[in-house]
Structure 1
Amino acid sequence: MKFSYKFSNLLGTVYVKGDLLFSPDGTSVISPVGNRITIYDLKNNKSTTLPVESRFNYNAIDLSPNGNVLVAINEEGDAHIISMISRMIIHSYRFKKPVCCVKFSPDGKHFAICKENRVFVYNAPCLESGNFNPFIMERVFSGAIDDTTNICWSFDSKFLAVGSKDTSTKLYSLEKYKNFRHCNLGGHSDEIVSCFFEKKTYDISTLSRNGQLCIWECSINPDDLVINEPSIKRVKNNNNNNDNGDESEDDVDIDNAVEKTEKENAKMTKNKMEKTDDGDDDTADDKKNKSKRLIFKKLARHYLADEPRKQDRAAILTAAAYHTDTKILVTGFSNGCFYLHELPEVNMIHSLSISNQCISSIALNSTGDWIALGCSKLGQLLVWEWQSETYAMKQQGHSNNMNSLAYSPDGLFLITGGDDGKVKLWNTLSGFCTITFSEHTSGISAVLFSHNRKFIVSASLDGTARAYDLTRYRNFKTYTSPKPVQFSCLALDSSDEFLAAGGQDFFDIYLWSIKLGTLLEVLSGHEGPVVSLSFSPSPSSTSLASVSWDKTLKLWNAIENGSDHETLKLTSDGLCVVYRPDGNEVAVSTLDGQISFFDVKTSIQISSIEGRKDLGSGRSDTDLITAKKNLEGKAFTTLCYSADGNCIIAGGHSKNICIYNITESVLVKKFEITQNRSFDAVDDFINRRKMTEFGNIALIEEREANEGGKVSIRVPGARKGDMASRNFKPEIRVYSLQFSPTGQSFAATTTEGLSIYSLDVGLVFDPFELDIGVTPETVKNTLNNKDYAKALMMSIKLNEKDLIRYVIENIPHIDIELTVNSMSLVYIERLLKFIATEMEKTKHIHFYLIWIENIFIKQGHNINSALQMPVLLNLQKNMQQKYDDLSKICDFNQYTMDFIKNTAQMKSKKLIQDSQDDSDDEFIEQMDIDN
């Protein structure tokens, strides 16, 4: 119950590969982030990740026109039909081959997919089609010579335009028409990237990889299509045939119809032959039908790649999108440039460069105002409003591994550092990155939040530690050592006055003053790289713990006594050290997979946990040893205590995160962070299909035509980053993790991104001191009898959120003070916890603030602040969020009221002035009359 954490959101990864989509209302962007899907609400500035996970990365997705059904297909051909209402997978299907594109028809009754050189059309499960059985195949088209690449439906869902790598575009129809057969549009010299139908017509525009745009005009209007009447066939009904050989009435009618049709066909053939003998080529009706036959004429060809090739001669067109209402064409190229053209004149409206990397996907919203651009190599997602030339959203994750994270003291923000040398600040409520610091020139090894929430610090392998001001968002201090040192760890004391960093190449610890920026002390004593530091969280203690690869744990009292320290021997190389929240105990993880606990005062080991087998094994494609043997090299590299200090969470060279009870030394919970087989070392066994008599196929390098091109496997022994620009599967692992100070969630930086796991307490029945007579009915009866304190305590015993909320909101505000005085401290603490959580979503802000005020005034001196610190921090976070939201509305209302007030004053002055002028005119007229 206590650790029923569930995956809630994925930050730090905004786009990986595949199609980008806009919601039907045009205010949300749907982006595939690996084997998950994230929705970015641009109107409310919030991102949410669907609780759906695939076995491989998604690469083809499409949303039904009504926005209720999402079809998502991964790179191995596994398809999921996802309900956007319940946000669950309602059906799965395996195509067994990669699928490059999927598109819903505009009427929502069908969806088509491209697989190899074929196009499959399926019935969509919806009310429009009246069929809820998914993946019922309607048609199969196989006219392409090479693989198909894209699909476009006509506005009336009657035709399909399919582009392929054979440089042609095929046109197919779902029904048979007299004046149409399969059509082939050529004219290109490279593979087709996109094709688009015009609005209300069958005119087509096709785009190829080399930037050629061909505009085709259709010979007929949509109203001129003639449906081919189905041929009448004899139906054999064996069940209706009796023993005497008599035929049923239906069979007799069908035979008569067939005989009649044959006579009519023979008569028409005879007339045609007579006409032909007389020298007439076609009848008038035939000429009319021939003139209305559906054919295409090429109107123009344009070369869109001329402009981007002025910057890069090798630039190719990689993505395109077209808005039929505004006739705006957006094209993206491999050099990071994208262009806006107006069709059919192909007039350039805008040209912009977002990066020097390839643009992978482009999407336009329903109004045509916003353009979504995805760049897979940078993990970048942009939404650009082209009319005002501003960004509606600009998000980019770390272009390389995330190494470290840290929560803000109130749990509202997260900071992460990566191998790309950037420090990013994330809002945990919205899921967006608010600021990026890029002053470091090498990978970030550690980041920390100050206890007063005013600044953050980071350490890097470039030999500097930097402090950033969160008010002005600037780097206000840079800390360096006398000799250039690669800093591998960082620690900040409880008073935010001293900063310590450990060296990776020089085995010393450096101590600076935060305010002055001067180096105070160099602590020597370790004989190996210092990999982890931790200051005691106790305000009365100034001790510092450090571990190193020299198999020692050292406890320093550096601030008071300089280099005096105590050395404790470890069983193996130290990897991580953390203090318990009360500062009386430290936990150390070592290379042999153990977690050891030491008493700080007595320097005696209290207990240890053997966690190597809990980490779980995993065999990468390039491993020559089995997963069981590989398990011997696994270890925990990151640790974090829970808020009460009774449990510890650990992660490392594995896909598993473990939570242990320290007192009992047992595993309480284990989380598997991903099932994505697109990463390495997820499975314990290598697929037999990859095994040959010469070994694993994954050990064979696949190079391009030119030597030195992309490589499919990593550099031997490389564990971090994308070495030498090689294209390889990253290995799954947990780099850093930390509990939120509020205790409601924890975050982990993994190969997949920044994963957040939260408690969903609303779905768990966890009663507290429950009695037999306590039921929802008795609680409501007690409330009706106006025994408010008893009713509230009974609802807290049941621990049902809806019931507690009902009781609290039915207590009059004048009785709140008396109710708080009548409750015991145990229930007061639980009531405060509920109110802290409720403040995040409630509309009755003033009412709950009255409760908080009375609790702190009447019972505040009895509340144990150390144990209730997570509750208080959660309360502070939610109240701060409410303050920020309301302050914007209040400021807007204040300025509006001032404007209205000033306008009213000006009008009243004008009316007074006009009345005075009128009275003066009347007085002058009266004087003239008297004279």
Structure 2
Amino acid sequence: MKFAYRFSNLLGAVYRQGNLNFSKDGNAVISPVGNRVSVFDLKNNTSETFPISTTKNITCVGVSPDGSLAIVVDEDGAALLVSLITRAVLHHFHFHKPVSSIRFSPDGRKFVVTKENVALMYHAPGKQREFNAFVLDKSYYGPYDETTCIDWTDDSKCFVVGSKDMSTWVFGAERWANLIYYSLGGHKDIIVGCFFEKDSLDLYTVSQDGALCVWESDTELDGLVLKKSLDKPEPVRQEGGEEDEDRAEGEEVEVIRGKAEPPKDKNKVKNVRYKHRSKHFFNKEAEFNNLTAAAYHKPTHILVTGFASGMFHLHELPEFNLIHSLSISDQRIASVAINSSGDWIAFGCSRMGQLLVWEWQSESYVFKQQGHFNNMASLAYSPDGQYVVTGGDDGKVKVWNTNSGLCFVTFTEHTSSVTNVTFTSSGFVIVSASLDGTVRAFDLHRYRNFRTFTSPRPAQFCSLAVDVSGELVSAGAQDSFEIFLWSMQTGRLLEVLGGHEGPVSSLCFSPVQSILASASWDRTIRLWDMLDSWQVKETLPLTSDGLSVTYRPDGQELAVATLNGEIAFWNPQTATQTGSIAGRHDLEVGRKETDKITAKQSAKGKSFTSICYSADGESILAGGHSKFVCIYNVKEQMLVKKFEISCNLSFDAMEEFLDRRKMTEFGSLALVDDGAGDGDGVDISLPGVRRGDMSSRHFKPEIRVSSLRFSPTGRSWAATTTEGLLVYSLDGSLVFDPYDLDLDVTPASIRKQLRLQEWASAIVLAFRLNENALKQEVLEKVPHEQISVVCGSLPDVYVEKLLGFVATCLEKSSHLQFYMTWAQNLLMLHGQRLKNRSASILPTLQSLQKSIQRHFDNLSKLCDFNMYNIRYAAALSKQKGIKRPAEEEEEEHDEGMSEEMSEASLEESEMIL
């Protein structure tokens, strides 16, 4: 199962649209990102994206009170019931119409969904497995326009629904005798939020024009009287209503109408009444500054409101005292959420792709992330695989930590789109090329732009490469057809290489020689010798325009992707072509809405735009104008596996055939101009133009893969796509992949060898069975003093496997010294034999280096922190008043001991690392 890569994480995007939610403990934010759901752990500073996806972008998420379930609804109303514990889909459901909001009751037994002008109450799924997880209980009609928001009372007896018709409706979750429904007015704009007071029927309603109404009820929650079963009316069935679609066959559903007169009660119970207590207005700086999001924390009585200008306010209710006001963005705040303790507030800005968590008491950011708010153009892995750098059309260069999945530095010096990024061999310098005519080098130690390379005449750089030493920086121009060479040390321009007759689309340095390969639209690849006066060493002819060129990790082969959809392989020493792959049929391009030709015909004009070799050089990864990424075996020149990077129908060019529901007598609905009455189609639409109105801009992004890279460790690969930066990795725990399996290779026989203290044979048997848990159990039962003996007696074929497993365990295990001893003995005893297979063992060594480097960084910070604390404590003790000589001698002795202990701990940690 060498290519059992699975979706691991989504980087480069933290929030798109929809509502934010906090987990039950309040330490994690659940954020919808496109058609996926990401969870950001604020305590451990990590992110995780669920391996589930909807068919379109997610609009609302409802989380159960116990934090175990979530209901995810997309733009069309298709819902998924997801377990937040196992990350698995439990149930599929379709509401048939777009859903505006969803909310669980506090007791977790019901949930309400609002769509169009109706509120539907369902029985929440229970703990046992059910055939139908969503059972419709009641339908509530009241508002004339679309519903916008929901809130429940603390005891789950009533809920309130806000609407676009400026009204707010209070409904009873049961058949109360004194409350069937109650309608509240008082606003002049769309209701953004409606909230019950804690343990009360009192209400707060907030509208888009910045008005807050406070409503006081004359009845307590305990005053609600349940109707007797004898007085219960016959269920009312609405003819042709929407609830018929959501009901199972033969199921009777009660329909509560707010537009009819309530039935008169026989017992003369006093009905619930509301009184308008007060009305407050937010200070608006401008007329366009609408109130766009609101959240209320009941225990602390704090109301948080977000505005279209990026400002937010904190008010204490019901007195409406302003606690805090701040501008966190220059764009519209789309969603606001408060955690259970009321300390942290999450804000989502959909246009900028921002997700912020603000601690209002200390007035500081707990979490601040922003993705590329435009397409990503390129990515590169650091040499140890710990970091990924991305460049986007927004002109930003972002560096992401592969372990946490978060961005820790953003460089904004470029003024135009970043076309290419790369790391130097040291891993501490990032080089980026841009259409603004500059190539910039960034330092990861001080986080600054320390070099800026420019050309004598302004040029738009579209390709970039840095040699192995990190001294030479080259960039290709798309307008002057030239290649520029600079020195990293001095920043000076060394040479301008001319000769290409078309834009230089791709550059790549050989990993073993000082040779630069350049691919161009003039159907040639040129090999430039950096040692011999920068002359052309070879010119390799291509059958079509060259789009991407890359060297194999050992430098003995060259791969080129061309415009006709082929990948050609060349021997750079002999300048001969060794093979080619026709990959056009593997792309499987989808049909765009405005295409007048079929997807099969459209595929003839598509090609791979990005290729890269795997870490061992045996396979090649290719992606382009398609939703598929292909892995080919280089030696056999055949397709090994295809990965579908997205199933999100909110992107264009996803489906192979047009939807018949979008076809009219004049052709596709997307090609019919709404403004023209004669039915003439729009032949060539301008990019991003909404049909019918040429002045209204609308953009439906097309799915594509702009860049691909394999991790140096070989355990994962990443792709920059329209959806974001997708990371696929090997999940070995879910794959059974035995090696040299036999009948006697069983867990029982392995444990028998352990009892007999036959350590080497137990390790060999465990690696033949290839179960991770069993391998770890065997390895950790070997006595520390026996490690060198066991390493020396291992067969050669298992040395590399054991080294790779040790590197994987070292990344997550706390037994540092134990696994470091294994790695040291394996490298010392089998170093010469491993050196002979350096090309194949390189990814394993890089994985080991990544794990050690990570622990070194964490431990060195901890040791520094402890050392500074000890010095601070010693300095404080010296500053205290006059002490007795005996006490001073004891303290000096203790200080000396503490300093010796700190130095000893530092030396020990350095020896371990």
**TM-score over 0.5 (shorter chain):** yes
**Using a 3 Å threshold, how does the CA distance of structure 1 residues 233 and 401 change in structure 2: closer, same or farther?**
closer
1:77 equivalenced with 2:62 (yes/no): no
Aligned position for 1:37 = 37
Distance 1:773 1:724 in 2: 74
Question: Are 1:813 and 2:784 counterparts?
Answer: yes
The residue aligned with 2:840 is 867
**Is contact 1:714-1:726 (8 Å) kept?**
no
Q: CA shift at 1:660, angstroms?
A: 0.3
Change in 2 beyond 3 A, CA 1:908/1:841: farther
* Alpha-carbon displacement from aligned partner over 1:212-265 (angstroms, at most 9, x marks no partner): 110000111122222222217999xxxxxxxxxxxxxxxxxxxxxxxxxxxxxx
Is residue 2:721 matched to residue 1:750? yes
Tell whether the 8 Å contact from 1:123 to 1:131 is kept in structure 2 after alignment. no
**For residues 888 and 5 of structure 2, what CA distance do their matches in structure 1 show?**
73
String of CA shifts for 1:794-815, please: whole Å, max 9, x gaps.
2222222122111111111111
Contact kept? 2:171, 2:179, Cα under 8 Å? no
Task: Quote the residue 2:3 is aligned against.
Answer: 3
Q: Does 1:370 align with 2:344?
A: yes
Aligned-residue offset at 1:406: 0.1
Are the equivalent residues in 1 in contact too, given 2:80–2:92 (CA < 8 A)?
yes
Do the aligned residues in 1 keep the contact of 2:526 with 2:536 (CA within 8 Å)? no
| 1:201 aligns to 2:195 (yes or no) | no
Look up the match of 2:894: none
Cα distance in structure 2, aligned partners of 1:702 and 1:838: 61
How many angstroms apart in 2 are the aligned matches of 1:688 and 1:430? 44
Q: Confirm or deny: 8 A CA contact 2:688 2:697 kept in the other structure.
A: no
User: 1:11–1:432: 8 Å Cα contact kept in structure 2?
Assistant: yes
Tell whether 2:188 aligns with 1:215: no
Give CA-to-partner distance per residue, 1:776-805, whole Å, 9 cap, x none: 222222222222122222222222212211
Which residue number corresponds to residue 637 of structure 2? 665
Task: Report the Cα offset of residue 156 of structure 1.
Answer: 1.0
CA distance, structure 2, for counterparts of residue 817 and residue 565 of structure 1: 50
Larger-Rg structure: 1
The answer for the alignment partner of 1:699 in structure 2 is 671
* 1:234-273 matches, cutoff 5 A: none
493, 496, 508: which one pairs with 1:534? 508
Counterpart CA distance in 2 for 1:440 and 1:724 is 30
Candidates 313, 323, 327, aligned match of 1:349: 323
Q: How many residues align?
A: 846
Change over 3 Å in CA distance of 1:903–1:334 after alignment to 2? closer
Matches within 5 A, 1:5-404: 5-127=5-127, 133-231=132-230, 289-290=269-270, 293-304=271-282, 306-307=283-284, 310=285, 312-404=286-378
Query: Which residue is equivalent to 1:481?
Result: 455
Say if 1:828 and 1:751 are closer, same or farther in 2 by CA, change over 3 A. same
Q: Is the 8 A contact 1:404 1:416 kept in 2?
A: yes
Q: CA deviation at 1:888?
A: 3.8
In the superposition, relative to structure 1, how do residues 12 and 495 fare at CA in structure 2: closer, same or farther (>3 Å)?
Answer: same
Helix, strand or coil at the partner of 1:883: helix
Tell me the C-alpha RMSD between the 2 structures. 2.4
CA–CA separation in structure 2 for the residues paired with 1:499 and 1:896: 44
2:702 is matched with 731
Offset of 1:906 from its aligned partner? Answer: 8.6
Among 864, 878, 884, the alignment partner of 2:857 is 884
- List runs of 5+ in structure 2 lacking aligned partners: 235-264, 676-681, 890-913
Alpha carbons 1:110, 1:121 under 8 Å: kept: yes
- Is the CA contact 1:148–1:165 (under 8 Å) kept in the aligned structure 2? yes
1:582-609 alpha-carbon deviations (Å, 9 max, x no partner): 1111111111000001110111111000
Compared CA separation, residues 786 and 905, structure 1 to 2 (3 A): farther
Distance 2:300 2:464 in 1: 54
2:593 counterpart of 1:621:
yes
Instruction: Return the TM-score normalized by structure 1.
Output: 0.88
Superposition pairs of residues 590-609 of structure 1, within 5 angstroms: 590-609=562-581
- SS of equivalent to 1:790: helix
Whether the 8 Å contact between 1:125 and 1:132 is mirrored in structure 2 is: no
Moved more, 581-590 or 37-46: 581-590
Equivalent residue, structure 1, for 2:481: 507
Equivalence for 2:746? 775
Distance 1:413 1:6 in 2: 19
- Per-residue CA deviations over 1:693-747 (Å, capped at 9, x if unaligned) read 22222235679xxxxxxx9x973499xxxx9993221000000000000000000
- The equivalent of 1:521 in structure 2 is 495
How far did 1:409 drift? Answer: 0.3
Q: Equivalents in 2 of 1:915, 1:322: separation in Å?
A: 57
Please point out which of 603, 611, 624 is paired with 1:631: 603
Comparing 352-361 with 55-64, greater Cα deviation is found at 352-361
Do the aligned residues in 1 keep the contact of 2:112 with 2:119 (CA within 8 Å)?
yes
Is the deviation greater in 588-597 or in 772-781?
772-781
Q: How does 1:680-695 map to 2 (within 5 A)?
A: 680-695=652-667
CA change 1:191–1:700 in 2 (3 A) is farther
397-406 or 688-697, larger mean C-alpha shift: 688-697
Q: What is the alpha-carbon distance in structure 2 between the residues aligned to residue 234 and residue 147 of structure 1?
A: 28
1:824 shift after superposition: 2.6
Residue 679 (structure 1) aligns with: 651
Q: Distance in 2 between matches of 1:842 and 1:451?
A: 28
Q: Deviations over 1:875-896 (max 9, x none)?
A: 1111222223333444444455
Secondary structure at the aligned position of 1:839 is classed as helix
Q: Is the 8 A contact 1:825 1:863 kept in 2?
A: no
CA contact (8 A) 2:688 2:698 kept: no
CA distance in 2, matches of 1:658, 1:913: 77
Match of 1:929 in 2: none
CA distance in 1, matches of 2:547, 2:10: 27
Structure 1 residue 356: Cα displacement:
2.0
Q: 1:559 to 1:521 in 2, by over 3 A?
A: farther
Tell me if the contact between 2:210 and 2:290 (Cα under 8 Å) persists in the aligned partners. yes
Work out whether 1:586 is the aligned partner of 2:558.
yes
Which secondary structure state, in structure 1, belongs to the residue aligned with residue 833 of structure 2?
coil
Q: Alpha-carbon deviation of 1:460?
A: 0.2
Q: Any conservation in 2 of the 1:714–1:728 contact (CA below 8 Å)?
A: no
Secondary structure class of the residue paired with 1:620: coil
Matches for 1:709-724 after TM superposition, within 5 Å: 715-716=686-687
Compared with structure 1, are the counterparts of its residues 859 and 220 closer, same or farther at alpha carbon in structure 2 (3 Å cutoff)? same
- 2:230 is paired with a residue of what secondary structure? coil
Identity of aligned residues (%): 53
In 1: Cα distance, 2:698 partner to 2:79 partner: 25
Q: State the distance in 2 between where 1:913 and 1:795 align.
A: 61
- Please state how far the C-alpha of 1:130 moved relative to its aligned partner: 11
- Residue in 2 that maps onto 1:430: 404
What amino acid is aligned across from residue 20 of structure 2 in structure 1?
L
Task: Give the whole-Å Cα distance in 2 for the aligned partners of 1:909 and 1:454.
Answer: 51
Q: Aligned letter for 1:332?
A: G
Contact map agreement 1:714 1:727 (CA 8 A) in 2: no
* Alpha-carbon distance between aligned partners in 2 of 1:392 and 1:115, rounded to the nearest angstrom: 34
How far 1:518 moved relative to its partner? 0.7
1:455 is displaced (CA, Å) by: 0.4
Deviation sequence 1:877-928 (CA, Å, 0-9, x none)? 1122222333344444445556667778899984657999xxxxxxxxxxxx
Rounded to whole Å, the distance in 2 between the matches of 1:450 and 1:874 is 18
Deviates more, 1:416-425 or 1:777-786: 777-786
Q: 1-side partners of 2:101 and 2:133: how far apart? A: 18
TM norm structure 2: 0.89
Structure-1 separation of matches of 2:674 and 2:299: 45
Amino acid at match of 2:351: K
Q: Which of residues 419, 423, 430 is equivalent to 2:393?
A: 419
